[in-house]
Amino acid sequence: MFDGYTTSELMSIFAMQGFAGLSLFSVFVLMALGLAIIFGQMGVINMAHGEFMILGAYTTYLTSGFFQAYMPSLFGGYFFIAMIMAFLICAAFGAFIEWAMIRRLYRRPLDTLLATWGLSLILQQAYRSIFGPREVGVELPEWMMGAIQVTDMVELPINGLFVMIIALLIALGLYLLMYRSGWGKKVRAVVQNRPMAEAVGINSGAVDRMTFALGCGIAGIAGSAFTMIGSTGPSSGQAYIVDTFLVVVFGGAQSLIGTIVSAFAISQAQSTMEFFLSGSMAKVLTLLVVVGILMLRPEGLMALKIRR
Amino acid sequence: MKMHKQSKKGGANGRWGLGKLKLLAASMVLAATANAATPPTSQVNTTGLAVTDDTVTVGILHSITGTMSISEIGSVQAEKLAIKQINEAGGVLGRQIKYVQEDGASDWPTFAEKSRKLLRQDKVAAVFGCWTSASRKAVLPVFEQLNGMLYYPTFYEGLEQSPNVIYTGQEATQQILAAIDWAVKEKGAKSFYLLGSDYIWPRTSNKIARKHIEKLGLTVSGEEYYPLGHTQFNSVINKIKLKKPDVIFAIVVGGSNVAFYKQLQAAGIDPTKEKPMVLTISVTEDEIRGIGGENVEGIYASMKYFQSLDNENNKAFVAAFKKEYGDDMVIGDVTQAAYLGPWLWKMAVEKAGSFDIDKIREVSPGIEFTGAPEGYVRIHENHHLWSKGRIGLAMADGQYKLVHETEELMEPDPFPEGYQ
C-alpha cells in the first residue's frame, strides 16, 4: 500500500499515526482512571461510570453557555473552569450516591452491578428530560480548534495535545495522592485488609466515600475533556463504558499502573491495526487478543501480589 | 399511551394566522366538501377500523425514549403538525383525526409489539412511524399479517418494497447517484474515499456508490467501516491524507459524527477548502445541532430537503413548525418526509373514498402532493416517492445552502439492477 510515496511522506504519516495512537492512549487513560479507582480499590462495579462522564460533559456545556451569555470576554479560558466545575459536581454527586446507595451494598458485588446499572438508566432518562433527547454541541474557544503545523505534512491536532496533557496531569496527581499521601495510605490499607485497617483507627466508611467521590470526579473531568472529541447526549456515556471496563480489567483491576499499561497496549494495537486493516476488523482483533490474554492471565496484566 | 383530540372542526375561521396556509386550508375544505360532505361510516369503513361518524384514529409509533429518540422526536413533531393542520382544514372525509401515540423505546421487539397493539387493539386506520431500518424490518411482518398501512419517513438503503408500507423518504439510489453525478460533473471529482458506520444502511449505500463510481471509470481509493458510537477517527484520517482522494464520501451516523468532523478539522482537513471535499448523505440539519455548525462548515450533503429551500410551501411549513414548537427548532430531511405521511394518507383516503387499507393501496400510486415543503412529489408504483435530488452546502449557522438540484424528479429504484 506504500507504493509511489516518498520517504518523507511516509515518515510524516507514521509520525502522525504515532500521535494518533498516543492520543487514543490518553483518552483511554482518562476514561479508565476513575473506574480503576472505584472498581480496583473498592470492588464496586460502577455501570454508571459513563453517565458520570456525561454529567461532566453537560456541566461543561452549561458553563460554556454561561460564559457566552455573561462573560464573553473570558470565553477563551472557560474550559479550565468548566473542568474544575465538572470535577466538583461529579464528586459531590458521587459522594451522595455512595451515601444513599453504594455503601449498603459493599458485601454484594453483583448487587452493586445491578444497582449502578439502574442508576445509569435513571440518569440517562433524567438527562433526556432536562436537556432534551438531542445531542448538544459544546462550543470550543478558538484556540482549541485546528492543528499545529510541525512540517508541511505533519499536523498535530491541538485538542488531542490538550487531552494528552490533562491525562498526564491527572495520572500524576493520582499517583502522588495514592502513593505519596497519608490519605492514599489509608485507601491502600482499607483495600488490602479492611478489618485490620479499622482496627488501627481508620474510618473505612469515610475513606470509601472519598474514594468513590474521587473516582466520579475524575470521570467528570474525562467527560468534560471529551466534549472536544465526542458527542454529548443522554446516552453518549454508553459508548465509553465498554472500552473503559476493557482497559481496567485487562490491566488488572487493583493496579493503577496496570491500567495505564493496558491502556497503552490496547490503544497502540488498535490504532496501528486501524491503519493497516479496516476499523471494524481492528476492533475485532483487539478484542480477540484481549480475551486470549485474559484466558491465560485471568487476573489481568499486573496483579497485586498480596497474601489472602 | 396518550389519546389526544385535536382542536375542533372549522380551522378556516381565521385563528390560524398564516396567509398562505389559510389559503391552502380553505382549498382543502372546499375539496373535502366537494367530494362528499360526510359519507356514512358503513360505506367508508368495511373492515372494522377505528372510524366513527366524526372521527378516525391513526397511530404514531416512534422512539421517544432511548438512544434513537434524538432522531425520532422531529418526526413525531412533524406528524402531529400535519394531523393538526389536516384537522383544521376539515379532517379526512369529514372526520377529525385522533391519534394514539406509542413509544418504540429504541428497541426493535418493542416496535413489533406496539405495532401489533395499534393494529389489533386500537384498529388504527394508518400508522406513521419507525425510523431505523431495524425497527421497520421488525414491524413489517406485523403490518403484512394484520394488513395495516405504515408511512415510513427515513431515507434508507432500499432493497425492500411492501404492499403495506409507503416510503416517504428517499431510497439509496436517489441520494447516492445524485451526489456522485454532481461531484463528478460539477467538481471534477476523480477519486472517492468511502467511509461509514458499520451497519446495513452505510454498507448497502457504499456498495451502490462503489458500483456507480466504477461504472463511471473513476477510482475508489478506500472503503472503511467503524462500529456505531466509535469516537477515534485519527487513523482513518491519516489514511485519507495519505491517499489524497478528491471526495470523502461519509455515511457516519449518531454520536460518531461529532467525533469524526471535529477530528477532521483538527487534523487540518478543512472542508471549506474544497479538496478533499466532504460529501455526506447522513448529516441533516438535526444532526448539525449536535455536531456544531462550525465543525461541518463547507461539507456537502445529498438529500431531498433542506430547511432553507426557497419556495412558498416550505416557507409556510417552516413558519408553522416554529410556531408550534419554538423558534429554535431545526427541520431536517426526515422531519419533512414524516410531515408528508399524514397528507399522502389523507389524499389516498379521499381518492379512494374509503378508509379500507386495500382500497388505499390500490389508489396510492400516482397520488401527487403539490403542497409538499420539498416541492412536488408523486407516489411510484413501488410505493416510494418520485422526488428531486438536492445538494446542499453546510453553513456555519447550521443550515444548508442549496447549490444544486436535479432538473427532473428522480425515479425511486429500490432494487437497482447492476448495483447489488
Q: Above 50 in pLDDT, residue B33?
A: no
The yes-or-no verdict on residue B34 having pLDDT over 50 is no
Size of interface A-B (CB pairs under 8 A): 139
The pLDDT, as a whole number, for residue A18 is: 84
Q: Does the residue A276 lie in any domain?
A: no
Q: Cβ contact (<8 Å) for A147 and B266?
A: yes
CATH superfamily of this structure's domain B172-303+390-405: Response regulator (3.40.50.2300)
Q: Give the range of the structural domain holding residue A72, as residue numbers without chain letter.
A: 30-244
- How many domains is chain A partitioned into structurally? 1
Contact (CB<8Å) A134/B238: no
Its pTM stands at: 0.79
pLDDT tens string B78-114: 999 999 999 999 999 999 999 999 999 888 899 999 9
**Domain ranges (residues) in chain B:** 2-169+310-386, 172-303+390-405
Q: Which residue of B has its CA nearest to A14?
A: B238
Q: What's residue A306's pLDDT?
A: 55
What's the rounded Cα separation, in Å, for the pair B100 and B238? 50
> Is A43 among the domain residues?
yes
C-alpha torsion sign, points B277, B282, B288, B290:
negative
Q: Are residues A278 and B224, on separate chains, in Cβ contact within 8 Å? A: yes
Mean pLDDT of each 10-residue bin along chain A, 308 residues long = 69 80 88 86 86 93 88 83 93 94 83 91 89 77 75 76 89 90 88 87 89 92 85 80 86 82 89 82 88 86 62
* Cis check: omega of the bond before A195, within 30 degrees of 0: no
Specify which residues B18 forms β-bridges with.
none
- Average pLDDT value over all residues in chain B: 87
CATH class of the domain at B2-169+310-386 = alpha beta
B73 to A133: CB separation less than 8 angstroms, yes or no: yes
Query: For residue A181, what are the CA distances in angstroms to A176, A213, B101?
Result: 7, 17, 58
Cβ-based neighbours of B69, under 8 Å, separated by 6 or more: A128, A133, B62, B63, B106
Nearest-Å Rg of the Cα atoms of chain B is: 21
Instruction: Please give the average per-residue pLDDT across B280-309, as a whole number.
Output: 89
Nearest to A133 among B70, B231, B294 (CB): B70
Q: For residue A155, what is the nearest residue in chain B, using CA coordinates? A: B267
Domains B2-169+310-386 and B172-303+390-405 share a fold: yes
CA distance B407 to B409: 7
Question: Using one digit for the tens of pLDDT, what is the confidence trace for B176-220?
Answer: 988 999 999 988 889 999 999 888 889 889 999 999 999 999 999
Q: Do A278 and B239 touch (CB under 8 A)?
A: no
pLDDT band at residue B28 using 50, 70 and 90 as cut-offs: low
Q: Which of B68, B64, B95, B94 is nearest to B79 (CA)?
A: B64
Q: Give the pLDDT score at B112.
A: 95
Q: Parallel, antiparallel, or unpaired for β B165-167 and B150-152?
A: parallel
> In this structure, what DSSP letter does residue B12 have?
G
Q: Collapsing DSSP states into helix, strand and coil, what is residue A133?
A: coil
| Residue A94, domain member (yes or no) | yes
* DSSP element (H, E) containing B57: strand B55-62
- Answer whether residue A273 is part of any domain: no
Kind of pairing, strands B150-152 and B300-303? unpaired
Residue B132 grid coordinates: 431505523
Q: Is residue A197, in this structure, part of any structural domain at all? A: yes
Q: Given this model, what pLDDT does residue B152 score? A: 96
Instruction: Please choose, from the candidates A223, A208, A241, the residue with its C-alpha nearest in 3D space to the C-alpha of residue A95.
Output: A208
Residue B258 with chain A: CB contacts under 8 Å: 135, 137, 230-232
Which residues of chain A have a CB within 8 Å of the CB of B265? 145-146
How distant is the Cα of A297 from the closest Cα of chain B, in angstroms? 28
DSSP SS3 for B162: coil
CA separation for the pair B305, A178 (Å, rounded):
57
Q: In this prediction, does ipTM exceed 0.85?
A: no
Helix axes B200-215, B172-187, angle to 10 degrees: 40
First-to-last alpha carbon distance for chain B, in angstroms, is 41
Closest CA–CA distance from residue B364 to any residue of chain A (Å)? 34
Any domain includes A6? no
Cell of B90: 376539515
pLDDT class for B25, splitting at 50, 70, 90?
Answer: low
**Does A158 sit within 8 Å of B242, measured CB to CB?**
no
Is A96 a domain residue? yes
pLDDT on residue A248: 87
